[in-house]
A = this chain, B = another copy of it.
Amino acid sequence: MTPAPTGKPKVLVIMGSVRAGRHCPALAAWVAGIGQAETGLDFELVDLAAWPLPMDDEPNIPATGLYMQPHTRKWSEKIAEADAFVFVSPQYNWGYPAVLKNAIDHCHREWHGKPLLIVTYGGHGGDKCAAQLRQVAEGLDMRLVPTMPALPLARGMILGAAITPDTDFREQIPQVRQGCRELAAMAPAP
């Protein structure tokens, strides 16, 4: 999923969960595949499990851009080089997962002005998580895609049963396509 430089806008698909047994990699890859086919933009998966960012390990507030830790600088560069974002995230206790908020809060200006598509999943699709993430993204001056695809998980899926996105979320495919098209329309021209 990491394409060579193409001159096309780069979309990072950031996974909101690092839990063992998570559905996030399957769902994020599925969303990225739809986005790639629908828009032709470069979609790249970002697994936060591969980005250890200790919580609040920086002495300065991120708005200053003065990062002391090598991992923060690397993360900052990763976000700065991207043109648009998709968050694919579970809902935890009517809110967003700590690991996603931690990754967001490690940067500041790197997010400004960039388009964001939010895709959530949960017992009721994760709409409360999406609304809270939307407020955070507004605080960071991101440009929000109007469509917010929400994938409802059956009880068995929540407890760990495997997911086949193309069949389990067939009804949501048009919404994901629509969100990706809106994202591409908002992304900067190549």
Contact = CB atoms under 8 A, between A and B. Distances in A.
A108 B92 CA distance: 10
User: How many identical chains are in the complex?
Assistant: 2
B139 A56 contact: no
A129 to B, nearest CB: 10
Interface string A31-68: 00000000000000000000000011111010010000
Interface of A: 17-22, 55-59, 61, 64, 92-99, 101-102, 104-105, 108, 128, 132, 135-136, 138-140, 158-159
Given A95-B101, A98-B98, 20 more contacts: A18-B56, A19-B56, A19-B58, A20-B59, A21-B59, A55-B97, A56-B97, A56-B98, A64-B159, A92-B101, A93-B104, A93-B139, A93-B140, A95-B136, A95-B139, A101-B101, A102-B102, A128-B135, A132-B132, A132-B135
